[in-house]
């Protein structure tokens, strides 16, 4: 029998794509019963979230993490503290259908943390103002972060396609984009701002004293607050303008 090698290769490729997504994944039988679980952890100075959870940051004593989800999912949500960093993620090999993803809610109390990193597609927010000395915020996923801050210095790095919205006050603000997302801080009052874009995203900032703005990508920087000193440089196709 004459075998068409090209046909066999194409057929195997199609089958791999159709069924391959289920290989190595664990099936969960959802009960549709929502439960809340409180987990005790050691204290932490940083938070790293690596999934699609809806996370609220509140003022409180570190060490009591509250998780609300379908009771079948709870055992597969990992919360652990390593090197003073709280890691929250989903166990490898677990597939959660989209309709259940937005039903996983996490409440994290903080007294004073120095950094927050999200590499997932979830949402992180705070309803109350978080008073932090020097705070670093990083988003490398497609999620959204909305925080109210009162800080000496805030440093933001965005390398994903998500959005970061900050409100409140800080003396020094540093914002960098190397992705296609947006950093929005028109309601974050700051004295000095250093912002740079090497991607296609956008930054808007509220600055009253000194602004240092650089673009080497196709994004845009807009500013308000009438800064006294402005240093700007554009080597890409973007632009810097006052709102």
**What would the pLDDT profile of 98-114 be if each residue is shown by its tens digit?**
888 878 999 999 999 99
Do the Cβ atoms of 107 and 134 come closer than 8 Å?
no
Angle value at C-alpha 224, between 221 and 226, nearest 5 degrees: 120
158 and 232 part of one domain: yes
Query: Of 64, 99, 127, which residue constitutes the final position of a domain?
Result: 127
Dihedral pair phi/psi, residue 198, rounded to 5°: -120, 10
Answer whether residue 24 is part of any domain.
no
170 and 105 part of one domain: no
Please give the share of the chain, as a percent, with pLDDT higher than 70: 90
Banded pLDDT at 120 (limits 50, 70, 90): confident
Taking the C-alpha atoms of residue 140 and residue 117, their distance in angstroms, rounded to an integer, is 8
86 and 99 part of one domain: yes
The gap from C-alpha 228 to its chain's centroid, in whole angstroms, comes to 32
Taking the C-alpha atoms of residue 208 and residue 227, their distance in angstroms, rounded to an integer, is 4
Taking the C-alpha atoms of residue 170 and residue 151, their distance in angstroms, rounded to an integer, is 5
Answer whether residue 19 is part of any domain.
no
Query: Of 100, 127, 154, which residue constitutes the final position of a domain?
Result: 127
Answer whether residue 8 is part of any domain.
no
User: For residue 196, what are the CA distances in angstroms to 168, 178, 222, 223?
Assistant: 21, 9, 12, 13
Q: Is the pLDDT of residue 190 over 70?
A: yes
Torsion of CA 201, 186, 150, 125, to 10 degrees: -60
pLDDT value of position 23: 44
DSSP state of 97: -
Q: Is the pLDDT of residue 15 over 80?
A: no
Dihedral pair phi/psi, residue 76, rounded to 5°: -100, 0
Q: Is the pLDDT of residue 17 over 60?
A: no
85 and 151 part of one domain: no
Looking at residues 54-77, what average pLDDT do you find? Answer: 96
Q: Is the pLDDT of residue 154 over 70?
A: yes
Q: Which domain holds residue 88?
A: 34-127
231 and 153 part of one domain: yes
168 and 190 part of one domain: yes
Q: Is the pLDDT of residue 142 over 90?
A: yes
Number of structural domains in the chain: 2
pTM here? 0.88
Answer whether residue 120 is part of any domain.
yes
E runs forming strands in 43-143:
46-49, 54-59, 64-70, 77-82, 85-90, 105-110, 115-118, 123-125, 130-139
* Kind plus residue range of the DSSP H or E element containing 10: helix 5-19
Query: Of 105, 127, 149, which residue constitutes the final position of a domain?
Result: 127
199 and 159 part of one domain: yes
Taking the C-alpha atoms of residue 115 and residue 137, their distance in angstroms, rounded to an integer, is 6
* Kind plus residue range of the DSSP H or E element containing 183: strand 182-197
Those residues with Cβ within 8 angstroms of residue 171's Cβ, 6 or more apart along the chain or in another chain: 151, 152, 153, 190, 191, 192
138 and 152 part of one domain: yes
87 and 145 part of one domain: no
133 and 121 part of one domain: no
143 and 198 part of one domain: yes
Q: Any idea what the CATH number is for the domain that residue 184 is in?
A: 2.160.20.120
Answer whether residue 155 is part of any domain.
yes
């Amino acid at each position: 029998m004459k075998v068409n090698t090209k046909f066999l290769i194409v057929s195997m490729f199609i089958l791999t794509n159709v069924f391959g997504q289920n290989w190595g994944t664990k099936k969960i039988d959802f009960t549709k019963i929502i439960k809340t679980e409180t987990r005790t952890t050691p204290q932490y100075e940083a938070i790293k979230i690596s999934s699609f959870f809806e996370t609220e940051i509140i003022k409180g004593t570190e060490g009591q993490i509250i998780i609300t989800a379908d009771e079948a999912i709870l055992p597969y949500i990992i919360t652990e503290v390593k090197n003073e960093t709280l890691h929250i993620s989903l166990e490898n090999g677990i597939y959660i259908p989209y309709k259940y993803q937005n039903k996983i809610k996490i409440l994290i109390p903080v007294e004073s943390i120095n950094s927050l990193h999200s590499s997932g597609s979830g949402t992180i927010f705070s309803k109350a103002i978080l008073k932090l000395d020097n705070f670093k915020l990083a988003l490398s996923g497609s999620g959204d972060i909305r925080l109210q801050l009162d800080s000496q210095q805030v440093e933001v790095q965005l390398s994903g396609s998500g959005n970061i919205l900050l409100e409140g006050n800080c003396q020094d603000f540093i914002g960098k984009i190397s992705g296609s997302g947006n950093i929005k801080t028109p309601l974050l009052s700051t004295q000095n701002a250093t912002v740079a874009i090497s991607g296609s995203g956008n930054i808007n900032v509220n600055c009253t004293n000194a602004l240092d703005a650089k673009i080497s990508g196709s994004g845009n920087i807009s500013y308000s607050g009438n800064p006294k000193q402005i240093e700007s440089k554009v080597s890409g196709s973007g632009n810097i303008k006052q709102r």
